[in-house]
Amino acid sequence: MKPIERIDAADIPGGGQLWLMQCGSDFSIQFGEDELMGSQDFDSEKALASLAIGRMGPRRDRILIGGLGMGFTLGAALAALPDSTAIVVAELVPTVVTWATGPLAHLFGGHLADPRVSLAIRDVHDVIIDSPEGFDAILLDVDNGPDGFIRPANDRLYCNWGLRSTYAALRPGGVLAIWSAYDDDGFVDRLVGAGFTVDSARIDAVGSREPKHYTIWLAIKPDVVVAGNADSRSLSAA
């Protein structure tokens, strides 16, 4: 077996560390013993972008990606969106950006140099709060799911008032897409309560010893806000 090496550590604002690990040609970003993402299993990160963009209407002027990660979501968004779309990437941990231009540069290619991309070293929550009706889609992959596992402050994104803030940051017909390592019916209830129509998709994990899937929620802000909200919760496999 090839040895597993810790390449670098990144301090998370507010406490804790992310670790960049390498095993042969494979890389992973970990929080403690939990792998957050890996270079060998990236279908769900790509699907976060492709599924969200597939739900968008004709207006695709500006989107927000929360979490730079290994660049798979950004790459899928760049491939699917027109040259006129502005893509804002909010990344809280500066060292993750350093990894993107260093040991993980081969995964990013020229993504960060694309003229459509602007990088904000900020908490994505703050970008959302500062951008009323500022985005046609918001894609979030900043934690393992809607419970603030990595950083308790992430709960602000997933609580009732946080979801209302995200709803306000979307233009009519806008899409909120959220990546999660697990299902959460209570979170779906909060999305519906915030005014969204909700769909979801399951993406099978690659190379897992036991059957495993990730969940992507797709929450749509109506084109026209009406009294009452349709509760759509279909489940599709990808």
* pLDDT the model gives residue 232: 46
Confidence at residue 184, expressed as pLDDT on a 0 to 100 scale: 92
Continuous segment of H or E residues that includes residue 27: strand 26-31
Per-residue model confidence as pLDDT tens for the chain (238 residues) = 778 899 999 999 888 899 999 999 999 999 888 888 899 999 999 999 999 999 999 999 999 999 999 999 999 999 999 999 999 999 999 999 999 999 999 999 999 999 999 999 999 999 999 999 999 999 999 988 887 655 667 788 999 999 999 999 999 999 999 999 999 999 999 999 999 999 999 999 886 566 689 999 999 999 875 544 444 444 443 4
| Beta carbons of 92 and 122 less than 8 angstroms apart | yes
Eight-state DSSP code of residue 92: S
Contact 90, 122 (CB under 8 A): yes
Predicted confidence at residue 138, as pLDDT, reads 98
Q: Phi/psi class of residue 32: alpha, beta or left (left: φ > 0; alpha: ψ in -120 to 50)?
A: left
Q: Given this model, what pLDDT does residue 211 score?
A: 63
pLDDT for residue 106: 96
Q: What is the DSSP letter of 70?
A: T
Going along the chain from its start, the domains and CATH numbers come out as: 41-221 (3.40.50.150)
Quick one: pLDDT at residue 83?
A: 97
Estimate to the nearest angstrom the gap between the alpha carbon of 218 and the chain centroid.
11
